[in-house]
Structure 1
């Protein structure tokens, strides 16, 4: 926002769609899908390696901090509200809680169809970023809802593709997102960590 890349609803939609289809959002969808597949296929022993790879994929210290805080908070909530033995795995330092892996594994344990769980995960990913945009641009609540609605088809498309992808398909062309994160680390006033 400070650099002027996002200044209105249209530019917010463009930024988030690019991230979702080509950047870290794309990778998060793959990590979710892989974690889901590990649990659904009884290969839970692969989750620590997947979580470690997901944690290592954070391109900046800002993303590392954001990921760790969100994931730890989510893990604590899940343990309190919907406890499950799969969550114990994420207590091991060799299996860091990464939101996409944690939620993918937990969705599979609940037997929520990946066709429902993955779009819901990506919707929450996008909605969280739209919420920040509503406050920072600033946009009104209606523009925020219109942005989320405009991202519905990219969310469904990315979900459908990611459900067939594996870690071999990981990669990002979201260079501007990474550069913005680097710049964010140096900002004097920061309202959000992402």
Structure 2
């Protein structure tokens, strides 16, 4: 139940206000069909998200679970440094701040000894850092947590496409169904991928985010 709470669209962290550059590629006409949306999101799932953010989240869980707050801080700094544009960095910082504020007010988290102090000790916590703390504090198995985190990201990206392209609700569900089938492989890879093999090298995504920062009219914050 706690994992469902963490991945719910009702989690008040503002995820629905971000598209991570997708809005710009739609606006410029590079992505304008269900198939092209699936290709764009699938590439991100296999690339920067699956190849960097998911394995980072796995190691953050390990560090929180082991009580290694120094490693948590180092991984948090690495997460912030990996954001290639100002809006992508602002996104993870804003969502991290909102999640921390929520967690310290939730008895299910705040009443567990030491967790509030540990979380508040992290300087400028990124969203994966705060999210991993909640998953570990609530004893969510690592693989389940990674799968849930990936699902929440996928759902947000698809819903952004449904609004921006726009696509119908049935198309959104077809995309979720096909993209979710790739998640188990990405989770298995993230659990064993060593830090030296992490990669967020995805120039198209970075360019889209840069261009979105100065887009004349937009619905999303990234």
Q: Distance in 2 between matches of 1:159 and 1:34?
A: 12
Q: What CA deviation, in whole Å up to 9, does each residue of 1:46-75 have, x standing for no partner?
A: 101110110111000010111111111111
| Structure 1 position 108 matched with structure 2 position 136 | yes
Q: What CA distance in whole angstroms lies between the structure 2 residues aligned with 1:34 and 1:2?
A: 36
Task: Could you tell me which runs of 5 or more consecutive residues in structure 1 were left unpaired when the two chains were aligned.
Answer: none
**What is the match of residue 193 of structure 2?**
165
Q: Given the superposition, is the C-alpha separation of residues 107 and 129 from structure 1 closer, same or farther in structure 2, using an over 3 Å criterion?
A: same
Of 10-19 and 76-85, the range deviating more from structure 2: 76-85
TM value normalised by structure 1: 0.92
Count of residues in Structure 1 that have an aligned counterpart in Structure 2: 193
Does 1:3 pair with 2:28? yes
Q: Which runs of 5+ in 2 are unaligned?
A: 1-25
- Match status 1:41 vs 2:66: yes
Say which SS state the counterpart of residue 177 (structure 1) adopts: helix
Q: Does 1:78 align with 2:103?
A: yes
Q: Does 1:130 align with 2:158?
A: yes
Partners of 1:95 and 1:5 lie apart in 2 by: 38
Whether the 8 Å CA contact 2:154–2:180 is kept in 1: the answer is: no
| SS at structure 2 position matched to 1:80 | coil
1:89 aligns with 2:89: no
In structure 2, the partner of 1:179 is 207
Query: 2:178, 2:51 → 1: CA distance?
Result: 17
Residue 77 of structure 2, aligned match among 37, 47, 52: 52
Is the Cα contact below 8 Å between 1:38 and 1:105 reproduced in 2?
Answer: no
Match of 1:155 among 151, 167, 183: 183
Contact kept? 2:99, 2:127, Cα under 8 Å: yes
Q: Distance in 1 between matches of 2:169 and 2:193?
A: 34
Q: CA deviation at 1:159?
A: 0.8
What is the CA-CA distance between 1:87 and the residue it aligns to? 4.1
Calculate the aligned-residue CA RMSD, in Å. Answer: 1.7
